[in-house]
Structure 1
Amino acid sequence: MANETAVLGGGCFWCVEAVYQEIKGVTHVESGYTGGQVVNPTYDQVCSGTTGHAEVVVVTFDNEVISYRALLEIFFTIHDPTTLNRQGNDIGTQYRSVIYYQSPEQQETAKHVLAAMACVWDAPIVTQLMPAEIYYKAEDYHQNYFRQHPLQGYCAFVVAPKVAKLRKTFMDKVKT
């Protein structure tokens, strides 16, 4: 097994985490924060929009089962990369669309996927491509949030449709 990590921000981390937990070859998904200037920020601090952090997920995956490129193609399908600092009703820099690459190879792959996706969307893609920064794990109650609270309002109306879209669009990549 050749483990690799991807760090992705595509709005609320509950949505992104729930999607990647479904993917074959993904061995672990963790919600957290990166890209800001406050050391060990809390959820409330990040939500204030003053720390500079983005809500992200760290996706650990076996690149012999699923490629980084495939993970990015899923990323661009399950969120709107054309809205600056916003996903639906979630507004603020903490909800920005961002890829934090872990290596020059990931950076190159991300550049190619970004260019390919530019032809798919009607509006310009605003996803940032950034080098990895210091990452902070989110509080325990944010981990596995959708699995623990599938009937909670936000989960039922925002997260569940993204998971359903994943299952429909990428059936061959979903765990059984």
Structure 2
Amino acid sequence: MKTFVLGGGCFWCLDAIYRKTKGVADVASGYTGGHTRHPDYESVSAGMTGHAEVVAVTFDETVIPEEVILDLFFISHDPTTLNRQGYDVGTQYRSSMFYADAEQEKAFRDAIERAQKLWADPIVTEVTRLPEFHRAEEYHQDFYAKHPEQGYCQVIINPKLAKARKYYSSWLSA
């Protein structure tokens, strides 16, 4: 099993996509990359901590290649916008990849190179060493499945899921 820590805007979006991805054993929404020792949702979303909203995606690389996990990341958000995803604005929503070792750093940089061919503007995804990962509050875990009728899920997450299914249908469950 491998775990990648990735930030692509609100963690609910990536959480929803990766939970439907074959070979993914676990997804945890959380915070990392900031200066506050014990971040919480209110302080992170207010932009006071320096942390990004991220997901820790644990997957079985004998079932799903790491390249698919990373390529899904790059079609699930806009990696060319600095510190924003749609209406979510601030460093907490930055496109970011946090590596645990040199092998992951290389995989992340290779994924950026692959993804750049899909985007006209330069990719601004931050690639940095993983500091401490802070698991988000329980109500953020698997948010989409718990609240599919919620407006954010309908307007923001559903189109991202549809796009992921369009390009990676063989890797996603219904």
- TMscore range, shorter length: over 0.9
TM-score (norm 2): 0.97
CA offset digits 1:150-170 (Å, max 9, x no partner)? 110011000111111111210
Identity of aligned residues (%): 48
Query: 1-side partners of 2:64 and 2:38: how far apart?
Result: 31
- Partner of residue 106 from structure 1, selected from 100, 104, 110: 104
Map residues 22-101 of structure 1 onto 2, 5 A cutoff: 22-101=20-99
**CA distance, structure 2, for counterparts of residue 96 and residue 160 of structure 1:** 20
CA offsets 1:90-139 (integer angstroms, 9 cap, x no match): 00000000011122111111111111222210111000111111010000
Report the aligned-residue RMSD.
0.9
Moved segments of 4+, more than 4 Å: none
State the Cα distance separating 1:54 from its structure 2 match: 0.1
- Native 8 Å contact 1:68 1:106 kept in 2: no
CA distance in 2 between counterparts of 1:119 and 1:159 reads: 24
Q: Which residue of the partner structure matches residue 125 of structure 1?
A: 123
Amino acid at match of 1:127: T
Give the secondary structure class of the aligned counterpart of 1:170: helix
| Partners of 1:175 and 1:155 in 2: CA distance | 18
Counterpart-to-counterpart distance in 1, 2:105 and 2:67: 11
With 134-143 and 100-109 compared, the bigger mean Cα shift is at 100-109
- Alpha-carbon separation, structure 1, partners of 2:135 and 2:85: 21
Q: Residue 27 of structure 1: CA displacement?
A: 0.5
Amino acid at match of 2:18: Y
Superposition deviation, residue 71 in structure 1: 0.7
Deviation at 1:4, TM superposition (A): 0.8
1:171 equivalent among 158, 169, 172? 169
Deviation at 1:174, TM superposition (A): 1.1
Q: Tell me the CA shift for residue 21 of structure 1.
A: 0.4
SS at match of 1:40: coil
| Residue 175 of structure 1, CA deviation | 2.8
Give unmatched runs, 5+ long, in structure 2. none
Give the gaps of 5 or more residues in structure 1: none
Q: Distance in 2 between matches of 1:150 and 1:175?
A: 16
